[in-house]
Amino acid sequence: MTYDCSFLADLPLDGPVSFEESVRENNAADWAAREAGLGVLPDVVVWPTSTEDVVAVLEAAHEREVPVTPYAAGTSLEGNAVPQFKGISLDMTRMDAVLEVRPDDFQLDVEPGVMGNVADEAAADHGMFFPPLPSSGKLSTIGGMIVNDASGQQTVKYGEVADWVLELEVVLSDGSVIEAGSRAVKTSSGYNLKDLIVGSEGTLGVVTRATLELEGRPEQIRGGRAVFAELDDAAEAVFDVVRSGVDVAKIELIDPLAGEMANRYLDTGLPDAPMIFVEFHANHGIDEEIAFFETIIEAHDVERFEIDDEERMAELWRARDELAFAAQQYDPDLEPGHPGDVTVPISRYPDIIRYAKDLANEHDILLPCFGHAGDGNVHYSALVDPEDEAMLERAETVYDAIVEQAIAWGGTATGEHGIGMGKRKFLELEHGAAGVQAMRAVKAALDPKDILNPGKIFPETEAEGGRVDLSAF
Ligand SMILES: Cc1cc2nc3c(=O)[nH]c(=O)nc-3n(C[C@H](O)[C@H](O)[C@H](O)COP(=O)(O)OP(=O)(O)OC[C@H]3O[C@@H](n4cnc5c(N)ncnc54)[C@H](O)[C@@H]3O)c2cc1C
């Protein structure tokens, strides 16, 4: 169904509105949907430039029951920003001001369309940084990170985005504006609406301003690489490092296939072996921490451990950050499939790596495994021939089984990418029917007409055609 959005012409908006097909096409897909050749054309794209613009659009859309899907940089990996039921794509990228840095409070106020690296650079001007920046920090916005509850390589030490958001200005589905959270570092005042918005994927409200917490840049930063003979040893070493309380700021697993992909893409010169990339942050005593780390990995048959200089480490982190691009270029006949993002309790990390690799071998599927290992987070993406139906089916079997196994071990279907459209089928398995029903009740309370990003998060049913059935609430 398409919606008549001509009413937008009568609204007092400062930002532009476009009905052009080429513009709508850009906002029809996010990163993964575009890769898969999927997308749904919105009827119109609106670029608000102020909270007032967002209020005006939502008030009018609410009255007419027109779907509104917030859109930022479109780097989501689960169809989160795809306007599944058309309507308005609310493009937040022109609300991109860094509003204020308050160094004495370690705080930064931004509009949601600010790119991650721009916010981080604003913090760097004052000797600080935004710790949970994802690997896509240069490609994605702060608003997208908040609403997907992103995390990154430094999450093992500093936590996820949710841990660094203090206060949000949010426009609800009927156009009312709330301030959620507080600039105080702690509050127990009423329901925690701020944390409800974090990770809500644009289904509960539109973020128009955020106060973020910052961290002082550590005096000492050193990074290095550990090479193992067996993947099992590398995964066990990660578990042991975390369990033993080594203060790592980053610890990423790179399996041999991921290493080979990086070598082909960036000529990184990595060995054809399982590896851990690691980084340490400290204000003093970094050598002792590195020595502690070495002691632990030695118990896991590490073949080589080297601390690299800053330049080499920057190359290696770039190779890690760009593994998604490396997967695209690895083999002209194969394309990376749906990116996996399961996360398990750290004691299960070696098990899930073993499980994923064994299953892929059994089904004759190439499956690079990497990710934020210290969080128990595994990224994997089957490399598939899109013309080979049988191979696609086998890859899907592997993909689903890994998610189901992660949930069975007390983990989650998604550590950081969100549910979007791609993971809806696992929501009930992870949270139970009552858990999903409680989530629907929250959605019904805040968006009773289901206009905000409809079709996302909740399991799709044929009867609902993907829309959330709020009639029971
Ligand atoms: C190469 C690559 C690497 C990645 N690495 C990581 C990683 O390390 N860690 C990680 O967590 N993710 C990663 N991602 C996923 C993705 O980059 C993040 O989820 C990112 O935070 C999305 O931000 P975005 O600006 O692209 O938002 P979009 O994809 O445009 O939107 C994200 C969601 O937020 C909603 N939304 C956007 N803005 C607002 C707003 N102002 N108010 C309300 N809702 C809004 C949208 O409707 C959508 O549901 C990676 C993606 C790629 C392509």
Domain harbouring 70, CATH code:
3.30.43.10
141: Cβ below 6 Å to ligand 1? yes
Gap from CA of 159 to ligand 1 centroid (Å): 17
**Gap between the Cα atoms of 49 and 36, Å rounded:** 31
Percent of the chain at pLDDT above 70?
97
Helix (H) or strand (E) holding 302: strand 302-308
Strand partners, 378: 342
Gap from CA of 285 to ligand 1 centroid (Å): 36
Burial bucket for residue 410 (CB in 10 Å: 0-12, 13-18, 19+): exposed
**Gap between the Cα atoms of 13 and 3, Å rounded:** 19
Same-domain check for residues 314 and 223: yes
For the cut 80, the answer to whether the pLDDT of residue 285 exceeds it is: yes
Gap from CA of 144 to ligand 1 centroid (Å): 4
455: Cβ below 6 Å to ligand 1? no
Strand partners, 212: 108, 165
- What backbone phi and psi angles, to 5 degrees, belong to 286? -70, -35
**CA separation (Å) from 401 to 119, 412, 461?**
38, 13, 22
CATH number, position 364: 3.30.70.2740
For the cut 80, the answer to whether the pLDDT of residue 180 exceeds it is: yes
Question: Are the C-beta atoms of residues 17 and 46 closer than 8 Å to each other?
Answer: yes
Total-model pTM: 0.95
* Side chain identity at residue 465, one-letter code: G
Residue 455 maps to a domain: no
Domain boundary among 157, 190, 216: 216
Find the domain containing 138 and state its range.
98-216
Domain boundary among 330, 353, 370: 330
CATH number, position 153: 3.30.465.10
Domain boundary among 330, 351, 376: 330
Query: Hey, what are 286's tokens?
Result: 């970094």
- The pLDDT of residue 473 is 36
Query: Hey, what are 255's tokens?
Result: 């399996």
- The pLDDT of residue 37 is 79
83: Cβ below 6 Å to ligand 1? no
For the cut 80, the answer to whether the pLDDT of residue 267 exceeds it is: yes
pLDDT digits (tens, 9 = 90+) for 333-390: 999 998 999 999 999 999 999 999 999 999 999 999 999 999 999 999 999 999 999 9
Give the Cβ contact number of residue 2 at 10 Å.
10
Closest CA to 335 of 392, 268, 403: 392
23: Cβ below 6 Å to ligand 1? no
Structural domain count of the chain = 4
- The pLDDT of residue 77 is 94
Q: Average pLDDT over the chain, rounded to whole?
A: 95
- The pLDDT of residue 32 is 83
Q: In testing the pocket of ligand 1, which one of 51, 140, 145, 370 has its CB within 8 Å of the most ligand atoms? A: 140
pLDDT digits (tens, 9 = 90+) for 379-411: 999 999 999 999 999 999 999 999 999 999 999
Same-domain check for residues 234 and 318: yes
76: Cβ below 6 Å to ligand 1? yes
Q: What is the mean pLDDT of residues 99-105?
A: 98
73: Cβ below 6 Å to ligand 1? yes
Closest CA to 159 of 374, 419, 380: 374
Same-domain check for residues 322 and 259: yes
Q: In testing the pocket of ligand 1, which one of 68, 89, 135 has its CB within 8 Å of the most ligand atoms? A: 135
Residue 471 maps to a domain: no
Same-domain check for residues 45 and 19: yes
Query: Hey, what are 79's tokens?
Result: 């169809």
Residue 357 maps to a domain: yes
Gap from CA of 419 to ligand 1 centroid (Å): 12
Same-domain check for residues 223 and 319: yes
Same-domain check for residues 350 and 258: no
Query: The tokens 């609204």 sit on which residue?
Result: 11
**Gap between the Cα atoms of 473 and 465, Å rounded:** 19
3-state class (DSSP) for residue 304: strand
Same-domain check for residues 59 and 25: yes
pLDDT digits (tens, 9 = 90+) for 219-249: 999 999 999 999 999 999 999 999 999 999 9
Q: What is the mean pLDDT of residues 91-116?
A: 98
As a 3-state breakdown, the chain gives helix, strand, coil percent values, each rounded to 5, of: 40, 20, 40
Confidence bin at 460 (pLDDT 50/70/90): low
71: Cβ below 6 Å to ligand 1? yes
Same-domain check for residues 229 and 246: yes
**Gap between the Cα atoms of 439 and 437, Å rounded:** 5
